Amino acid sequence: DAGITQSPRHKVTETGTPVTLRCHQTENHRYMYWYRQDPGHGLRLIHYSYGVKDTDKGEVSDGYSVSRSKTEDFLLTLESATSSQTSVYFCAISEQWSGSIQYFGAGTRLSVL
């Protein structure tokens, strides 16, 4: 998975609790992305980063925040998890902003009960 590590791989949490997912890359790629994958919706972009401390919103950013303090780490935080945030979360990286070629991590399966 192109030097991308997502942690944890699986998590079960309760509604209202904060959750942080981590994406770590060893490729030194500038651009990083967080997606969620749900049946019937494909992959949807949550947030992305175009450099250290530079982030922006994607299609489905409500209820999520991100931070990138180092090139290699991109964190996704659910401040107060809801059942609608039960999903599989993928981190991706790319070298160029052209965006076509993105390398994905193995995913984190999150269940919010």
Partner 1 sequence: GESVGLHLPTLSVQEGDNSIINCAYSNSASDYFIWYKQESGKGPQFIIDIRSNMDKRQGQRVTVLLNKTVKHLSLQIAATQPGDSAVYFCAENPGGTSYGKLTFGQGTILTVHP
**Neighbour tally for 94: CB within 10 Å:** 18
Contact residues for 86 (Cβ-Cβ < 8 A; gap 6+): 110, 111, 112
- Residue 113 is a binding residue for partner 1 (CB under 8 A): no
Regarding 92 and contact with partner 1 (CB under 8 A), the answer is yes
Site string (45-84) toward partner 1, x via CB under 8 A: x--x---------xx-------------------------
3-class state of residue 85 by DSSP: helix
Please give the residue ranges that form the binding site for partner 1 (CB under 8 A).
1, 4, 31, 40-45, 48, 58-59, 90, 92, 97-107
